Chains A and B, each alone.
Chain A
């Protein structure tokens, strides 16, 4: 089946739908786009199914060649994007025809771009999902990241009308973020002083940030726990091992683990975190479960209410 031919795979380009759910009992993790906000926009702009498979391009360096007529959009991190030799705009839908070369350069703000094509890429699901998890060698094309020579199958289907998302409605990518946290898990085992330190200190992203977890460094935090049984880990959980430095667990996290956790970053903010580079700074703000629900509903309403602009 034709679609796109990968000329240069880039540093880490992975096929993803929204993720793999309901199979934690086998030890399989979730996967799915790190920045679900940019991912959802990409599919919406092409009137795709919300779960359509897109390409997550981390850091950049991707070159692909079209083998058919279709439309596409690139959302997420700011990166120079070229259709043949011409620079094109992100957050705008475009047409592409056989022989055209699409290039996504290296990100200058944010770290991950999302490429969607009309109808999504046609990838056979494994355990109900196309999401690629390298650690498990599952999903995508043979469980691997893109390689030169790979075929990305999709349908030939052009949009009848093009659109863009107004600049004021797009996420902003910077080098600082406030991450909202619902306290939970072993929160009570962190003394008030330790909690105060955690929620009142600035942390920096180390260079050990990947799809499993983002390791931060800053003020050390300690719990009173001496050893605990391994337990299920949810998305965004903040694990604090013996060295006192927090790790925010992301989409490819292990499903169980035995380190104390102080709570979990809300998914809206793990999306923001995933676009930061090593050296960027974050702060954590504790919020109530009611506030977390409010934020979720507000973001959802805002997403649905925001209109796309006709080109």
Chain B
């Protein structure tokens, strides 16, 4: 583990060179410890794949005091249960209609579209980071067979709820936005709703499963085509 300066009032803690479920669980444990022991001087925390950005209040503390407290809060992170975090199932209407890049992924992998859909649902993903846009959760890691590079030309408009793959990551677009990920389906669950508490159904460290639904179920659950 390395603690580096990020800025005048920020440290970045690197937990590992690569991400994994165990690393992600360690980061979650660190967040809990930091909030328990030094909440007053913390302005914000940004957990990500293998790092944690710690932003502190320079009017209440300083670099040296924070570094000391961080070191203490970062001990005893081993032995954390990597399967911790809630398990959340997100319904997906997979089809050529809702997932315009399904065919290309199937062709590249030399498998059927149904296999792509099956492989995407087969495993549990972990929320490694939330960012890019409010509610955009980066989930990993996608089976190598259906991993697909970002589009050479990003789309101007990706619909809200689009389920997408980029390399070995998958995500659900929380709002209409431009985007270069490969679209494979649509999820009726709102990933970010500012008027709801909590405003997101998932948080960093949670475990996610996808489960196929029909076109009718998608519409019934509030989905729009």
Contacts and interface: CB of A to CB of B under 8 A. Distances in A.
A182 B10 CA distance: 10
Contacts of B12: 184-185, 231-232, 234
Size class of B's contact patch?
A: 35 or more
Nearest to B136: A27
Q: Which 7 A-B pairs have the closest CB atoms?
A: A232-B53, A232-B46, A264-B7, A256-B131, A184-B5, A234-B10, A229-B49
A181 to B, nearest CB: 9
A60 to B, nearest CB: 30
A234 B131 contact: no
B55 interface: yes
Interface in B1-41: 4-10, 12, 18-19
Contacts of B10: 234-235, 264
Contact of B44 (A22, A266, A267, A292): A22
B8 A232 contact: no
B151 interface: no
Interface of A: 21-28, 30, 126-127, 135-136, 138, 182-185, 229-237, 254-257, 263-264, 266-267, 289, 292-293, 296, 300
Contacts, number: 129
Nearest to A184: B5
B59 to A, nearest CB: 8
Contacts of B44: 21-24, 30
A293 B63 contact: yes
A136 B133 CA distance: 7
A27 B63 contact: no
Interface in B98-143: 129-136, 138
B192 A229 contact: no
A235 B4 CA distance: 16
A104 to B, nearest CB: 30
Contacts of B19: 229
B46 A289 contact: no
A236 to B, nearest CB: 6
B219 interface: no
Contacts of A237: 6-7
A27 B194 contact: no
Nearest to A291: B8
B6 A26 contact: no
A4 B88 CA distance: 47
